[in-house]
Amino acid sequence: MNNSFIKENKNGVVYFRCTEISTPNGFSTRLGGASVQPHLKSMNLGKNLGDDPVLVEENYRRMGQAIGFNEKNIVFTNQIHSNTVKYVVEKDIGKTYDCDGFVTDKKDVVLAVRTADCVPILLYTKGVVGAVHAGWRGTAASIQANAVKEMVKLGAKPQEIKVAIGACIHKCCYEVGTDFCDTLYELLGREFASRHIEKRGASVYCDLVSLNREMLVMAGVKEENIFCSDDCTCCNSDLYFSHRASKGKRGVMSAFISL
Ligand SMILES: [Zn+2]
């Protein structure tokens, strides 16, 4: 059993908190929100999925109340499966940027990334936090390492950074195609990438968690400072929004962190 993630329930808002990170942080589930459409029920945090904006706003308010941040202070990503991690400060609050990760050293700034099978990654060290949306493209393009680099620019030491990897699609369910493998081999080298590819019968599966973990270690993060949720979103689609399990008809979750 994994003691690094605690399932919190605050007035029905169920989320997971990484206990190794000593600052407000949380990975939402699909429970405890106000959204009513069956596929968005109920904690949908996506603004462009056909949900009532008033309900989505209410969901962000509830997440802020549960985790302990002011939802008015969030900076939003317009996620584009890039490897871009942006440094944000107070003037960025409430804005949306074309990128897939943020870092900040400002106390009032709340970082958020959205996922529904992709890998949500939160990073913390004294005085600096980061949040990353790592789909397979971002993962292969080293977005996790870019987050570490941006944190180092703000004075962080990689060996002191703690990383929480939230629930995402695991290798039990993440079947991939040959084009996927070819791209991964090309970007990361066959030997390295193939450690995270598993053949089962005629099918091929990828382990995005172990891949991100190994790339973080290469970026200087200590293995023992990386904490991973045990949950596969696709296997647990009652608790999590899963793109695969729902065949794309779903809401979206969010991971939050602030100093
Ligand atoms: Zn699974």
Does residue 76 fall inside a structural domain?
yes
Provide the number of structural domains found in the chain.
1
Does residue 178 fall inside a structural domain?
no
- Output the CA 228–ligand 1 centroid distance in Å: 15
Does residue 180 fall inside a structural domain?
no
Q: How confident is the model at residue 41 (pLDDT cuts 50, 70, 90)?
A: very high
- Output the CA 115–ligand 1 centroid distance in Å: 15
Q: How confident is the model at residue 16 (pLDDT cuts 50, 70, 90)?
A: very high
Q: Residue 115: which CATH number?
A: 3.60.140.10
- Output the CA 207–ligand 1 centroid distance in Å: 11
Does residue 198 fall inside a structural domain?
no
Average pLDDT over residues 105-113: 97
- Output the CA 253–ligand 1 centroid distance in Å: 17
- Output the CA 135–ligand 1 centroid distance in Å: 16
User: What does the block give as tokens for 48?
Assistant: 């462009």
- Output the CA 26–ligand 1 centroid distance in Å: 21
pLDDT of residue 2: 74
Q: Which domain holds residue 106?
A: 8-169+208-257
- Output the CA 245–ligand 1 centroid distance in Å: 9
Does residue 186 fall inside a structural domain?
no
Does residue 1 fall inside a structural domain?
no
**Over the chain, what is the mean pLDDT?**
97
Q: Express the helix, strand and coil content of the chain in percent, nearest 5 each.
A: 30, 30, 45
pLDDT digits (tens, 9 = 90+) for 210-243: 999 999 999 999 999 999 999 999 999 999 999 9
pLDDT > 90? residue 122: yes
Q: How confident is the model at residue 56 (pLDDT cuts 50, 70, 90)?
A: very high
- Output the CA 173–ligand 1 centroid distance in Å: 4
pLDDT > 60? residue 1: no
Token pair 């941006």: residue: 150
What span, in angstroms and rounded, lies between the C-alpha atoms of 200 and 214? 22
- Output the CA 197–ligand 1 centroid distance in Å: 15
- Output the CA 88–ligand 1 centroid distance in Å: 34
The CA-based angle 11-15-19, given to 5 degrees, is 115
| H-helix segments, the chain | 53-67, 136-140, 143-153, 178-188, 190-194, 208-218
What span, in angstroms and rounded, lies between the C-alpha atoms of 195 and 170? 15
pLDDT > 80? residue 128: yes
- Output the CA 8–ligand 1 centroid distance in Å: 22
Does residue 3 fall inside a structural domain?
no
pLDDT > 60? residue 9: yes
- Output the CA 41–ligand 1 centroid distance in Å: 21
- Output the CA 170–ligand 1 centroid distance in Å: 5
Q: How confident is the model at residue 3 (pLDDT cuts 50, 70, 90)?
A: confident
Residue type for position 97: Y
pLDDT digits (tens, 9 = 90+) for 26-35: 999 999 999 9
- Output the CA 71–ligand 1 centroid distance in Å: 31
pLDDT of residue 83: 97
What span, in angstroms and rounded, lies between the C-alpha atoms of 2 and 229? 7
- Output the CA 235–ligand 1 centroid distance in Å: 4
Does residue 202 fall inside a structural domain?
no
Average pLDDT over residues 7-28: 97
**Percent of the chain's residues with pLDDT above 90:** 98
